[in-house]
Structure 1
Amino acid sequence: MQGLGRILIGMGLLLLVAGGVAMLLGKTGLPLGRLPGDIRYEGKHFSFYFPLATCVLLSVLVSVVLYLLSHWRR
């Protein structure tokens, strides 16, 4: 049961850091979520938004960070 508690605390801390980073990025004026390549459709009574380019950019950034962390731990 202690293992589960540690995992939940770790995930909570990770979400806290991710929220702080998102707030800081929002204040810098970076157009995350409004990049060219993000799919947006607005109809009369329907709107659809999928941030495709933003997801790809964030995936690349997370991959680079994890790659650097894995080499740093060696």
Structure 2
Amino acid sequence: MKEFIEMLKKIKPNVDFENEEALVDDGILESLDIISIISEIADKYGVVIPSDEIIPDNFNSAIALYELVEDLK
């Protein structure tokens, strides 16, 4: 998980990914951020996130996103 958080911080350094639970709902992550995250996950973990999984619930927290990646592996 620590490595995953570090990856997210490289994309959006000023965000507290360890504690934030409304990244999308509060507008912290924008569409281009999400695209960057999806691309980085594909490159780093070899996981393709299907379009039907690109929903706020899966991107509102680092934990939710990490769990999605683990489920898709």
Q: Provide TM-score, normalisation by structure 1.
A: 0.28
Q: Provide TM-score, normalisation by structure 2.
A: 0.28
Greater RCO between the two (CA within 8 Å, min separation 6)? Answer: 2
